[in-house]
Structure 1
Amino acid sequence: MLENLKLFLMIVEKGSLSAAGRELGLSPASVSERLMMLEAYYKATFLTRTTRSLSLTDEGRVFAEGARRLLAEADELESHIRSGTQKISGPIKITAPVDLGQTRVVPILDRFLAQHPDVTIDLNLTDSFVDLVSQGIDFAIRYGKFSNTTLKAKPIGENRRLICGSPNYLHHRGIPLHPDDLLHHECIMMRFMQGIDRIWSFQANGAPYAVSVNGQRTTNNGQLIKQWALQGQGLCKKSIWDVQADLAAGRLVEVLAPYALSPTALHIVYPPARVQPRRVARLIDVIVQELAINNAED
């Protein structure tokens, strides 16, 4: 049964029966047969299949979450019996924003891997939200207000966001002195799955103040936004963690500081499970602790 659970999760992660079979060394017929056995046993349909894609049904999503929980418990039991309670080993899959991941998370992971040589890390750096259950992600690091009731979260703290541009851009286009001045500037915008972040929020006279910005450049990659700003292509809205080194070196200059943007929350989010593998729980604790320290220092 555990092997069938692993197969089902591999099908969900790979998005096809044939890809899951190749990963596990099984024929397409064998994969299909074992999936049919699972669905027949539980008297439910777990996947909606078309010629091009697979998607989880409501029952399939519940089953996937339960399968991950059962496999985590089995993994934890094996770890206790084979290696003792202190040994940390096995794979961890993570997703994080591109800039934050490269500048802050990767150094933490490097130290963690050095301390735990039997752990492997699969890091997905993306500024889009990833479905943790279908992609088999152990946890995600995310900015923004946490409102997903199907996931659990650990708060890390609040992260200051600011508007900045290169000295060359500001020399040629002028320094905005009020948020409304952004209407006359090139603003580099971030695109998320839910749309383009063109409403930039400020504080003016103790009250929220929002401006709808525009510009020639929009992307879903936070690193590219910073690159364009460094090249003098426009102003950008970034986390202090992402541009701190560039500000200190004078490559970027903060503007509109008196109208400081509202801080953005930072969380670690993960699927609900009664038991997390020790390696996952330990890494979450390490990341929360180290990023919280960095947040306090900044």
Structure 2
Amino acid sequence: MLDNLHLFLTILEKGGLSAAGRELGLSPASVSERLSMLESYYGVTLLTRTTRSISLTDEGRTLADGARRLLAEADELESRVRRGAETISGPVRLSAPVDLGQTRIVPIVDRFLDAHPDVTVDLNLTDSFVDLVGQGIDFAVRYGTLADSTLKAKPIGENRRVVSASPAYLARHGTPGHPDDLPHHDCIVMRFGINSDRVWPFRVEGKPHAVTVRGRRIANTGDLVRRWALQGHGLCMKSVWDIQEDLDAGRLIEVLAPFSAGRTALQIVYPPTRVQPRRVRALIDTIAGELAGGAAG
């Protein structure tokens, strides 16, 4: 339809069908056919034609005025979309786990915004599942395997979940020497939506070994789980990315390391769109590069 409107305006500009055809590289028959299609679509006659000239009908004049505005808006829209693909400007929406987001993602985003003043960022920090497509989110940083096979993934590095506690807690309650000791300890449990993560995975003699833990504290954010552990309220199982600084500083002590369940992925996931705006690609590459460069042990 836009092409036919452009042809219609070219006929008016050039003063005839043959001249418009030469301008656009179309045969006279093709020009006539497409003009007839346009008139058939609107159910009106747009041009009055004689052997020497053409003139607009009232309906043709109305269409010509509207077509000029419509094509100008279409050109502006295309320009804005192409600028979004070629320049680093415009909005980016992303999601990340709370702890990782606050300690690692936010500083990266702040530096990115300083470097690109025409970008805006909408950051959703949550430990719950996020529907990227349904919520219009450009990408998310996620732990673990990719559950939604329709998404694409960019690996960042490896993640390891560790059990840890504060020195004060271990001094009061002792250090567990085997995963089966955990039911006798106060464990801080993470809740995802309506499901509580009470089953902690380990490996014993090379085989998977799950232990159901108990505890008086349940939280729906990893940040609160970490703070309760730092305050000495119990053992927690957290991503090493989230507590590496606490481990390095001795604020938390890792336990049961020989029984670790192994490493999982840390990755950026995004919908399988054909072309991502440059601003989105740039922030994905920046986050992936900086996190990979400072990977947790």
Query: Shared fold by TM > 0.5?
Result: yes
Which amino acid in structure 1 is aligned with residue 244 of structure 2? Q
1:78 lines up with 2:121 in the alignment: no
Q: 1:134: Cα distance to partner?
A: 2.4
Q: 1:78: Cα distance to partner?
A: 3.5
Distance, in Å, in 2 between the alignment partners of 1:185 and 1:216 is 10
Contact 2:93–2:139 (8 Å) recurs in 1? yes
- Closer/same/farther in 2, CA of residues 173 and 263 from structure 1, 3 Å limit: same
Distance, in Å, in 1 between the alignment partners of 2:231 and 2:132 is 35
Contact 2:95–2:140 (8 Å) recurs in 1? yes
Distance, in Å, in 2 between the alignment partners of 1:113 and 1:245 is 25
Aligned to 2:141: 141
1:230 lines up with 2:224 in the alignment: no
Aligned residues between the structures = 221
Distance, in Å, in 1 between the alignment partners of 2:263 and 2:193 is 21
Runs of 4+ that moved beyond 2 A: 72-76
Q: 1:74: Cα distance to partner?
A: 7.2
Distance, in Å, in 2 between the alignment partners of 1:254 and 1:274 is 44
Rg bigger for which structure?
2
1:200 lines up with 2:200 in the alignment: yes
- 1:94-138 deviation per Cα after TM superposition (whole angstroms, max 9, x unaligned): 110000001111111111111111111111111001111222211
Report the 3-state secondary structure (helix = DSSP H, G, I; strand = E; otherwise coil) of the residue aligned with 1:175.
Answer: coil
- 1:214-262 deviation per Cα after TM superposition (whole angstroms, max 9, x unaligned): 1111111000000110111110011112111111222111111111232
Report the 3-state secondary structure (helix = DSSP H, G, I; strand = E; otherwise coil) of the residue aligned with 1:132.
Answer: coil
Q: 1:150: Cα distance to partner?
A: 2.5
Aligned to 2:290: 290
Contact 2:84–2:279 (8 Å) recurs in 1? no
Aligned to 1:19: none
- 1:73-110 deviation per Cα after TM superposition (whole angstroms, max 9, x unaligned): 87541346xxxx4x310111111000000111111111
Contact 1:73–1:275 (8 Å) recurs in 2? no
Contact 1:75–1:277 (8 Å) recurs in 2? no
Unaligned runs of 5+ in 2: 1-76
Report the 3-state secondary structure (helix = DSSP H, G, I; strand = E; otherwise coil) of the residue aligned with 2:134.
Answer: helix
* 1:211-250 paired onto structure 2 within 5 Å: 211-250=211-250
- Closer/same/farther in 2, CA of residues 168 and 277 from structure 1, 3 Å limit: same
Aligned to 1:151: 151
RMSD: 1.8
Contact 2:166–2:229 (8 Å) recurs in 1? yes
Q: 1:173: Cα distance to partner?
A: 0.8
Identity %: 62
Aligned to 1:63: none
Distance, in Å, in 2 between the alignment partners of 1:196 and 1:244 is 24
Aligned to 1:125: 125
Report the 3-state secondary structure (helix = DSSP H, G, I; strand = E; otherwise coil) of the residue aligned with 2:141.
Answer: strand
What TM-score, normalized by structure 1, do the two folds share? 0.70
Distance, in Å, in 1 between the alignment partners of 2:98 and 2:78 is 31
Aligned to 1:169: 169
Aligned to 1:277: 277
Distance, in Å, in 1 between the alignment partners of 2:78 and 2:243 is 41
